[in-house]
Amino acid sequence: MNETLRLIDRRMSLRRYAPRAIRPEDVDAIFESAMRAPTAMNMMLYSIVEVADQAKKDRLAETCGHDFIAKAPLVLLFLADMQRWYDYYEASGVPATCEREGIDFVTPRCANLMMSCCDALIAAQNTVIAAESLGIGSCYIGDIMGHAEEHRALFDLPRWAFPITLVCYGYYPEDLERRRTSRFDRRFIVFKNAYQRLGKDDFAGMLAEIEAKFADFLAKKGRSLAEQTYRSFTLGASQLEEVRSVEILLRDWVD
């Protein structure tokens, strides 16, 4: 196994960090790795906000529900960003040109958002792997998609800058015991030529380890794993807030 594959295999979501700042040269390397990420038509449909203000980090710890955000040495907000290109179109007189030529000036649509999200997440993952190579752990925070109104105000986000993920970074603590998180067997995830739907026996095999791990917890709740997962992932308070928030954010891309 080469070094890159070893890094990917050992990487974990790090939620506790060594109490020291990230070296400037390592921060530069993290940013440069984002800049070199694959991007649609080389348009770089993303922006990155470094959250350096401690008050903002403290507030994100509350709105996203993770205390470690406030203690992370480096916090980056990745935006799916079509605003930059539409500002460029406006500055270059494209709307007036469209009007003269009888062409509708079309604002960003959901397809543009999806492509921008891909660009932003690819860039984010590049930074995660680059950071790992420098002994810097990381953790993705999807909860940034919640509390749309407050997060927009907190970062002065314009209409077509969508907060797709937050990532925290910090050096691994010396006393940390690394634990490799299990994953589903590949046969349940990777298909050849066409999608394959799973049946009851497949689910039993796929989830056997998780069922065993949480057997006592589920027994106390009186629920199956499916029932508990549905409640947590679909009906949990943070999930419901994200649903509400994302629906608000999407309105700007479908009008």
pLDDT of residue 24: 97
The residue type of 240 is L
In whole angstroms, give the CA distance from residue 117 to residue 14: 23
pLDDT of residue 163: 98
Which residue(s) pair with 47 in the sheet? Answer: 79
In whole angstroms, how far apart are CA 252 and each of 94, 160, 246? Answer: 20, 7, 11
In whole angstroms, how far apart are CA 160 and each of 45, 97, 153? Answer: 11, 22, 14
Q: What is the pLDDT of residues 63-94, one digit of tens each?
A: 999 999 999 999 999 999 999 999 999 999 99
184 is a domain residue: no
196 is a domain residue: no
68 is a domain residue: yes
In whole angstroms, give the CA distance from residue 187 to residue 202: 10
Percentage of residues in the chain having pLDDT higher than 90: 92
165 is a domain residue: yes
In whole angstroms, give the CA distance from residue 111 to residue 162: 13
Q: Is 70 exceeded by the pLDDT of residue 173?
A: yes
**CB-count burial class (<10 Å; 0-12, 13-18, 19+) for 45:** buried
pLDDT of residue 179: 84
- The CATH number of the domain holding residue 8 is 3.40.109.10
Report residue 147 as tokens.
Answer: 């509390």
Q: Is 80 exceeded by the pLDDT of residue 32?
A: yes
Q: For residues 48 and 79, is the Cβ–Cβ distance under 8 A?
A: yes
pLDDT of residue 125: 98
Q: Is 90 exceeded by the pLDDT of residue 254?
A: no
241 is a domain residue: no
Q: How confident is the model at residue 177 (pLDDT cuts 50, 70, 90)?
A: confident
DSSP per position, 193-254: SS-----HHHHHHHTHHHHHHTHHHHHHHT--HHHHHHHHHHHSHHHHHHHHHHHHHHHHHH
73 is a domain residue: yes
In whole angstroms, give the CA distance from residue 241 to residue 150: 12
pLDDT of residue 255: 65
Region 160-169 average pLDDT: 98
Residue whose C-alpha is closest to residue 79's, from 109, 50, 105: 50
97 is a domain residue: yes
Q: For residues 31 and 87, is the Cβ–Cβ distance under 8 A?
A: no
Of 46-60, 205-219, 241-255, the range with the highest mean pLDDT is 46-60
pLDDT of residue 181: 86
Domain count for the chain: 1
Region 230-249 average pLDDT: 92
User: What residues make up the domain containing 8?
Assistant: 3-179
Region 160-168 average pLDDT: 98
pTM (2 decimals)?
A: 0.95
Helix or strand (DSSP H, E) at 165: strand 161-171
44 is a domain residue: yes
